[in-house]
Structure 1
């Protein structure tokens, strides 16, 4: 079996599929109920939808048009389009124009590539809300259905020959008969500030006014709720385009279009069901010679357009049928109950399912990458994406894209509670490791489970062999990652979703471990597989995925040493286990701090005592001794007092200084609230290239009350090391220093210092081949967008003395700084929630969740930022030493990913692009 077919076998199944949000990847029938694949949240009701080959357009109650990518479901733009609710959306046949109607009452026309406002057209008099809009690409004529029962139109072919409308004719300039009438004494109510202004994006373009003769008054005896245009409606003239309208009078009207009279319409036929008083036609949809209409109380009527007769009346459980959608012969009805009901071509109910917590007001069907998709929107402020497999046809085989398969694999991977720090999840860790190995095996990789010492979790080894034609010159790239995660017990319900059920929302995937580190691992696996499948893999890709990284990589070093013959030679090491500085600019990490975790314990010979009975100045209290001892470790502003502690630290070089110039300029350009560039750089340096000491917690013996003198007191502390400091040397110096200081206390108590864990710092060469290959790949995938303005800005701050104080601070950590000059720490949370991030409509209730429209992000970049990290990864320096190979670190996620926190997430576009970057690196690195 070919590798691709073998890989697909366990991921696609004729009877079940795995869905985001299903606990433990629960099976769901794939031919009945659609699978919820993603959800986008807003802060206002979704009233109407239109879907192109690239985008989902959603009209809201607030007058916006939301634009989402069909690829990643990320919000691309929020168009401030109307001053009233957007009630209708319509795409031109070539999808280059988007028409929006609203309660303004104005019809706006937009360019769908640049989201630019092209035209605004309106009626010469007040017509109330414009409920629907339709466009004839053949006649280039816009039709609108209004609250005042009229249908009106405008021939865009005449837009340059008709006279320009007067400014006073614009609906925003007109006086309202009620609100603008004169009050007592002839006074007029003043208009609120901004009442006459137009929406931000509905400016520019050409203004067009409908001619008085292009109006069909009383087209219906009720509101004109819905319209559609199409050919094949008239049996006697199948090539003729016909307008169909449905109204509040319960009638459906067919209209002939006369292109010789600017798109004038004349009545052809009326579809009526014989009722004396018809109920409103709320929705219309057509397929071939059959027309479907939705009405109150779940009534769906089926009309034969050839005979113009009502052939069937269906009863749906949806309540009032606000929306109808057709997809490959399947009819979807949605309404006030929040349910969608599916009917087959025989008008039999297939199934119904709850789609929204409120009214369903809009729906649309499309195929993206041959994948059938139903989109629904409602007054619960959400847009939901559903995969509808039965719409692919009874005999069709859905060929899922590599990205779809990758997300399905990641969904299953995340479902395993691989928490290495809690013994109760030991079996889950093993199952997660086994699943990961099966993914490698299905892709044709050579695999082995490398056992660590009990009770630690195994290492998953896998190897993709490169193209045999390149055997003599093949390089070996080692990809390191970890499948274990930190706990997510969610006792307080802070997670929006089940932490171990991958859930798509707002262009992100939510779940424990999705960013750290399961998503990046899966991206790298699929990159290697795709290259192998294309016979373009010029190197051997070796994977070492451990299960103890979150617990200090217990057992990793010994296990790797024992299996060096299996692993073989290594030329390059690559990992992806950190994040960008903000949410916009890709980064490369070239340095990590090391760490020493230690426990300092002071214990007396006497038992726990009562402070009132036994307390005296003569008694050596363990907790007092411990506090005095720990006070000797740091001085003013956190300066570590251990002798020789700072001596090995490398000075700041000119090359590295330039990196900080680029970092501060990029961050401040988009986030001016971050403040002074020098303070920002100093704050980053203190996090990345300066060592630090932290006291984490105290613990005492005895009952927890205010009168006890504890027999034992201990504290947990950590030291973050920087490159050139050796962990073992610093640990020994720490122990000796504490013993020396304790001796000076002349205490009868006993001191015990334990080194619980240590990891070496790491510093990569950002000028070497692997970093440069990564840089080119990032620029190729994310795209360089540097403008002249930013180039000039970077040059402007590169003055000779710009970093003079910075260099002194970086190279002389022992120097004291006046409190007033001490920079405010810039934390990862500050950068993730900086001023460039706008409130997210994906989670309007969470002020800490932020995002930015993709095309309006202000942090343009020419190349990725080279950064260091304050955290530690124990294995990276060990692997470099053991295999004598340089390492590089590719951050895949954004600063707001919330790794190790509640609601951990990874943006879909970051996952997809990470796979592309790995693919380019795996292909290009051996060529150099």
Structure 2
């Protein structure tokens, strides 16, 4: 069967060479760069500017500590794979042209290079300190260029580009090594030396051999003379009986069989023991540019971008489109017993393929928890669980059933908790801790939601199918990947790992609803009805928000609440014509509504409702210190955000200040400019903060509007309805669950302050968008916040006014930041999640919120995504926290 595309990484140049280590993917590009990607997260950790020509060949030392690169600039560079620093530059005194390939003998410590001038040359690194030091000007980057330094018409030389002076920036430093003229085998082939490979234990002889393929169609096997600096001596040439063979472009060995890829689409299969041509496969109609073997299969690809997969009987078992252009490089590896096939092409991408039918044993038994997690998430994403659209009611139920099956497969006790029609059910699942632990073991409730917002993609703004999880550039794209299916699945797999290891010492309860995107309809009644089934709860954990930027993990300890209300003014008369019926004596509904709404706020949005601000606690010095940490972290990377005090003030206004917003007006009658409407409505919302109570604010809102309306002495009738409300939430960031989360994040993420070299979205844009739209994004979620029960009132005690700017620690603290492990940022958010405060009150248990996603995840927007590293690390954080909270 065809391999499964696991991930695709994009670049701006063709990928010409690939080599794999247990940790990294190394990819050589047309622009002379060597890209380095982590194999487990696909994050690019380095882009080494190593050559002034295309990187044509890569190879690793046997211990994986050295990386060798060859290129069109006539140089072989050697790099440390630990810090990616340049170690050596190796070059010939001859003009060898392009160096197509490079190999390295770890036993002899000798580097071999195959060149365009038909030679194979080598350098014994054991001699690097005793050989004469070359002149600096002998380095190929200082030599005359055949094009730029040649004489043009009239004998005038073209000026050399300044960029051609000296080696590229990352190739500076290290040691220059000049190949001895004795260490050159001229005319190793009667054509370019396109490919080489070094066999450490040739035919179980214990000897190293070098195999090379060239433009003359020949394949040669060379012995290596240790006594003579690694000199090569031809042992034999494989003879296919052709008078003039087609160029050999690629080589790979599997046991005693050698496979050679040629132009015109042929793959020759050689038995090295008998030196016979076993088979000649017509694999492609075009040149075979790369071949690889692994897992009992042979893979070949070339100009068309199509990859052929052959079994041991040389039968084609799969044929699939790997790239939209030429496939120029490939490699195979077993990563944690996971068979991976990696390809690169001139469509500027690197593709990672899962070989699920690898014959090296049962693949399923070797799959890691993280791989299975990604597979489960992919199926979870495929269900269009859009709660706001009745068309997807069936998909919502099927998605809920799938999630319940995941719980059941891991041994949880599960039930579907019904809600009133037409609401989606709630999934209840309970993992019981080890029987050997105390009967009074701790109980942790994890809350989440499986419903998502629409993603029809009618305007083709998505890069991928929204309901097909797609790995692209270190991220997993798909609707719900970040909000909230990815975090849910990470939490489930965290519990499953603990249970499999018999280290689950607490009961973990999951409540996953299907109506969060519609304001958690029916959630409260269903939970109250099934409270006995759910049982007691000690801690509540939520993972339904995002980091403040793309760099530093966060913990959320506060959310604003919300009241959505409709204010309506209705006249006794029908819709009228302003010209025929309009007069100063007519009470117009829209005019009354405008005058009424104008009484709600004063200057700069100050809410005029009596007693509105009275319950709100002032900021404490402890919370001021949290804002110091936030502003210091953000301004370190984004100084254009202003002063610390300005940034802190901006965040406080969005996170911890109450506000009132008028959203829209609607009127009765046809839409034309002459109508006096009978009915005028306005939608308003109030964002609440601790210790404001939603029901109390809602009551005073209605009373205030009725009182103000009576002052108008209008014959019209006022109606105020509360459409939705949710309590604000404030958690105690000093309690046990926050401390457990903090420690786990620090242990898992390590020195994350400067660990990430790049972010897929520019940090400045992400942060500015986040600050500008913090409230709008929350409105889009339609979810209410929570207010800490006893927690909110407890934190309100002993509060103080914020310090003046000239004495504020925010303004005075040094901007220096440590690269050591640091705490996550403790943040609040301006949006609302209805369930958190309700669950706290209902179960008398404190809650904490751990964002899994980053600021650039684009939840509720096109191209929603979750970084693969965040998914895996989120799972590990959950695992550690569930284990820690279960301790006596």
TM score, norm. by length of structure 1: 0.87
User: Match of 1:470, SS?
Assistant: coil
1:362 equivalenced with 2:322 (yes/no): no
Question: Which position in structure 1 is the counterpart of 2:780?
Answer: none
1:151 equivalenced with 2:120 (yes/no): yes
- How far apart, in 2, do the equivalents of 1:327 and 1:444 lie? 35
Question: Which position in structure 2 is the counterpart of 1:93?
Answer: 62
Q: What are the Cα deviations for residues 157-184 of structure 1, in whole angstroms up to 9, with x where unaligned? A: 1111112221111122112233124557
Q: 1:201 to 1:515 in 2, by over 3 A?
A: same
Question: Which position in structure 1 is the counterpart of 2:850?
Answer: 890
Q: 1:147 to 1:830 in 2, by over 3 A?
A: farther
Question: Which position in structure 2 is the counterpart of 1:728?
Answer: 695
Deviates more, 1:129-138 or 1:425-434: 425-434
Cα deviation, residue 773, structure 1: 1.1
Q: What are the Cα deviations for residues 173-211 of structure 1, in whole angstroms up to 9, with x where unaligned? A: 112233124557775443444332532322222121112
Q: Which runs of 5+ in 2 are unaligned?
A: 755-765, 775-816
- How far apart, in 1, do the equivalents of 2:391 and 2:374 lie? 27
Cα deviation, residue 533, structure 1: 2.0
Cα deviation, residue 61, structure 1: 1.2
Among 809, 812, 832, the alignment partner of 1:872 is 832
1:196 equivalenced with 2:165 (yes/no): yes
Among 26, 29, 41, the alignment partner of 2:10 is 41
Question: Which position in structure 1 is the counterpart of 2:653?
Answer: 686
- How far apart, in 2, do the equivalents of 1:269 and 1:783 lie? 54
1:329 equivalenced with 2:296 (yes/no): yes
Question: Which position in structure 1 is the counterpart of 2:641?
Answer: 674
Q: What are the Cα deviations for residues 754-788 of structure 1, in whole angstroms up to 9, with x where unaligned? A: 2110000000111111111111111111124679x
Question: Which position in structure 1 is the counterpart of 2:804?
Answer: none
After superposition, where does 1:496-515 map in structure 2 within 5 Å?
A: 496-515=463-482
1:900 equivalenced with 2:860 (yes/no): yes
- Give aligned pairs, total: 835
Q: Is the 8 A contact 1:59 1:87 kept in 2?
A: yes
1:220 equivalenced with 2:162 (yes/no): no
Q: What are the Cα deviations for residues 352-389 of structure 1, in whole angstroms up to 9, with x where unaligned? A: 11111111111111111212111111111111111113
Question: Which position in structure 2 is the counterpart of 1:240?
Answer: 207
Q: Is the 8 A contact 2:118 2:189 kept in 1?
A: yes
Among 733, 750, 770, the alignment partner of 1:828 is 770
Cα deviation, residue 506, structure 1: 1.6
Question: Which position in structure 2 is the counterpart of 1:912?
Answer: 872
- How far apart, in 2, do the equivalents of 1:829 and 1:285 lie? 54
Q: Is the 8 A contact 1:603 1:751 kept in 2?
A: yes
Among 643, 660, 677, the alignment partner of 1:710 is 677
- How far apart, in 1, do the equivalents of 2:521 and 2:820 lie? 41
Q: What are the Cα deviations for residues 570-599 of structure 1, in whole angstroms up to 9, with x where unaligned? A: 111111111111111111111010011111
Cα deviation, residue 671, structure 1: 2.5
User: Match of 1:384, SS?
Assistant: strand
1:646 equivalenced with 2:613 (yes/no): yes
- How far apart, in 2, do the equivalents of 1:318 and 1:383 lie? 23
1:436 equivalenced with 2:403 (yes/no): yes
Cα deviation, residue 642, structure 1: 2.3
Q: Is the 8 A contact 2:548 2:767 kept in 1?
A: no
Q: Is the 8 A contact 1:323 1:363 kept in 2?
A: yes
Q: Is the 8 A contact 2:767 2:855 kept in 1?
A: no
Q: Is the 8 A contact 1:482 1:518 kept in 2?
A: yes
TM score, norm. by length of structure 2: 0.90
Q: 1:564 to 1:101 in 2, by over 3 A?
A: same
1:543 equivalenced with 2:510 (yes/no): yes
Question: Which position in structure 2 is the counterpart of 1:798?
Answer: none
User: Match of 1:194, SS?
Assistant: helix
Q: What are the Cα deviations for residues 32-86 of structure 1, in whole angstroms up to 9, with x where unaligned? A: 2111121111121111110111111111112211111221222222222222211
Q: Is the 8 A contact 2:258 2:271 kept in 1?
A: yes
Question: Which position in structure 1 is the counterpart of 2:148?
Answer: 179
User: Match of 1:389, SS?
Assistant: coil
Question: Which position in structure 1 is the counterpart of 2:710?
Answer: 743
- How far apart, in 2, do the equivalents of 1:831 and 1:735 lie? 29
Q: Is the 8 A contact 1:356 1:378 kept in 2?
A: yes
Deviates more, 1:544-553 or 1:397-406: 397-406
Q: What are the Cα deviations for residues 526-559 of structure 1, in whole angstroms up to 9, with x where unaligned? A: 1112212222111111111111111111111111
Q: Is the 8 A contact 1:292 1:300 kept in 2?
A: yes
Question: Which position in structure 2 is the counterpart of 1:807?
Answer: none
- How far apart, in 2, do the equivalents of 1:706 and 1:209 lie? 85
Question: Which position in structure 1 is the counterpart of 2:19?
Answer: 50
Q: Is the 8 A contact 1:232 1:289 kept in 2?
A: no
Cα deviation, residue 615, structure 1: 4.0
Question: Which position in structure 2 is the counterpart of 1:391?
Answer: 358
Question: Which position in structure 1 is the counterpart of 2:554?
Answer: 587
User: Match of 1:531, SS?
Assistant: helix
- How far apart, in 2, do the equivalents of 1:391 and 1:883 lie? 49
Q: Is the 8 A contact 1:669 1:858 kept in 2?
A: no
After superposition, where does 1:776-925 map in structure 2 within 5 Å?
A: 776-784=743-751, 826-828=768-770, 862-925=822-885
User: Match of 2:169, SS?
Assistant: coil
Among 336, 344, 352, the alignment partner of 1:377 is 344
User: Match of 2:491, SS?
Assistant: helix
- How far apart, in 2, do the equivalents of 1:106 and 1:557 lie? 69
Cα deviation, residue 684, structure 1: 0.9
User: Match of 1:702, SS?
Assistant: coil
Question: Which position in structure 2 is the counterpart of 1:578?
Answer: 545
Aligned Cα RMSD in Å? 2.2
Q: 1:344 to 1:186 in 2, by over 3 A?
A: closer
Question: Which position in structure 2 is the counterpart of 1:452?
Answer: 419
Q: Is the 8 A contact 2:746 2:821 kept in 1?
A: no
Q: 1:786 to 1:46 in 2, by over 3 A?
A: closer
